[in-house]
Amino acid sequence: MGLNRTARGIVLVPSLLLGGAFLATAAWLDGPAAANRPLALGLGAVLIAAGALTQLLPGSGEAKPEEPSGSPAPPTPPARRSRS
Tally of structural domains, the chain: 1
Domain membership of residue 83 (yes or no) is no
C-alpha to C-alpha distance for 43 and 22, rounded to whole angstroms: 7
Q: In this structure, is residue 50 part of a structural domain?
A: yes
Digit-coded pLDDT (tens) for 24-73: 999 988 888 888 999 999 999 999 999 999 888 776 555 455 555 666 66
Is residue 32 one of the residues assigned to a domain?
yes
pLDDT score, position 63: 47
Confidence of residue 79 (pLDDT cuts 50, 70, 90): confident
Q: Which domain holds residue 35?
A: 15-56
CA distances (Å), origin 62, targets 4, 28, 55:
10, 42, 13
Classify residue 51: in a domain, yes or no: yes
